[in-house]
């Protein structure tokens, strides 16, 4: 992709003043501080002589290695101890702000059986990620000590992930998670059906017996047609998770090859 120089809202007065004193020379920096950019005040003598204030337009943390994206660039103290600390601090601050936002909107906790299913899904994902890393490591020659250490650490992490996952699966089978979740779904279905029944048999509506029958038929038909859409949102991934409980014993055996 071709590089495109960024543009700012320039003050034409300032540009004219600069051009009159330094014809053909580009004015350094940018007119205002900007998030994501170094934004340090430029100490350029030519600018000072004309009474113009400009700011560094390098990316924030440019060339510092430790706080790229945050704080001053390497030309404006980003690599001095103070610049480093301040850049790293604003990086951590931003990251913890993001975590705080996530923590303040936690997902509601579903019934424990359902949480176990979700957890199993996450553990499986993690094991898959680790497996990919192990396969990746196998695909190129590892010869130096650091590389071997790294490969061993990855294999260990993968094995641990599999062990925990297999423990959880055994636990799920033991406590009958599948049956429990189906029971929870049934309870909810029954509660909904009871609600609809109370509605259509309410004397206030004054429906005749044949109308009530018709309403029940329609309800049953629609409920069947909607299928999983009637389920609460925690049940969305359920099909997948429940089938995992049965299939994954094979997978755990496969893992011994590694
Ligand atoms: Zn700078």
Residue 250 has pLDDT above 50, yes or no: no
pLDDT tens figures, 49-74: 999 999 999 999 999 988 999 999 99
Q: Is 101 exposed, middle or buried (0-12, 13-18, 19+ CB in 10 A)?
A: exposed
Residue 31 CA: distances (Å) to CA of 1, 14, 56, 69, 218: 27, 9, 9, 20, 68
pLDDT at 256: 35
Task: Quote the ligand 1 centre to 39 CA distance (angstroms).
Answer: 6
Please name the residue ranges forming H helices in 9-144: 12-21, 45-50, 81-104, 112-139
For every residue of 59-70, DSSP letters joined together read BTTTT-SSSTTS
> At 2, is the pLDDT very low, low, confident or very high (cuts 50, 70, 90)?
low
Task: Quote the ligand 1 centre to 40 CA distance (angstroms).
Answer: 5
- Distance of alpha carbon 230 from alpha carbon 53, whole angstroms: 62
Domain ranges for the chain:
12-104, 112-257
Q: Which tokens in the block code for residue 111? A: 């019934």
Task: Quote the ligand 1 centre to 75 CA distance (angstroms).
Answer: 5
Phi-psi region of 51 (alpha: psi -120 to 50; beta: other; left: phi over 0): left
pLDDT at 24: 92
Q: Which tokens in the block code for residue 97? A: 């702000």
Task: Quote the ligand 1 centre to 96 CA distance (angstroms).
Answer: 25
pLDDT at 40: 95
Task: Quote the ligand 1 centre to 98 CA distance (angstroms).
Answer: 26
What's the whole-number mean pLDDT along residues 9-34? 94
- Distance of alpha carbon 42 from alpha carbon 18, whole angstroms: 15
pLDDT tens figures, 120-150: 988 998 888 888 888 877 766 666 777 777 7
- Distance of alpha carbon 226 from alpha carbon 172, whole angstroms: 28
Q: Which phi and psi (to 5°) does residue 205 adopt? A: -80, -30
Task: Quote the ligand 1 centre to 11 CA distance (angstroms).
Answer: 21
Task: Quote the ligand 1 centre to 55 CA distance (angstroms).
Answer: 8
Task: Quote the ligand 1 centre to 245 CA distance (angstroms).
Answer: 55
């Amino acid at each position: 992709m071709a590089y495109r120089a960024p543009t700012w809202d320039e003050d034409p007065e300032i540009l004219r003043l600069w051009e009159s004193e330094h014809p053909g020379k580009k004015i350094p920096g940018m007119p205002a501080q900007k998030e994501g950019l170094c934004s340090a005040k430029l100490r350029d003598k030519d600018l000072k002589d004309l009474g113009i204030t400009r700011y560094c337009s390098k990316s924030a943390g440019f060339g510092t290695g430790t706080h790229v994206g945050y704080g001053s660039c390497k030309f404006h103290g980003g690599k001095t101890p103070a610049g480093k600390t301040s850049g790293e601090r604003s990086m951590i601050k931003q990251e913890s702000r993001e975590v705080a936002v996530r923590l303040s909107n936690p997902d509601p906790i579903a019934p424990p059986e359902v949480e176990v299913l979700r957890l199993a899904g996450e553990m499986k994902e993690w094991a898959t990620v680790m497996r990919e890393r192990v396969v990746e490591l196998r695909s190129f020659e590892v010869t130096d000590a650091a590389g071997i250490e790294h490969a061993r650490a990855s294999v260990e992490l993968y094995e641990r992930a599999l062990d925990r996952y297999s423990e959880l699966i055994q636990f799920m089978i033991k406590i009958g998670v599948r049956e429990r979740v189906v029971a929870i779904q049934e309870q909810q279905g029954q509660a909904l059906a009871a609600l609809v029944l109370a509605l259509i048999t309410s004397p206030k509506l004054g429906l005749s017996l044949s109308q009530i029958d018709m309403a029940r038929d329609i309800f049953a038909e629609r409920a069947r047609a909607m299928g999983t859409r009637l389920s609460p949102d925690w049940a969305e991934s359920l099909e997948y998770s429940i089938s995992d409980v049965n299939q994954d014993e094979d997978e755990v055996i496969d893992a011994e090859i590694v």
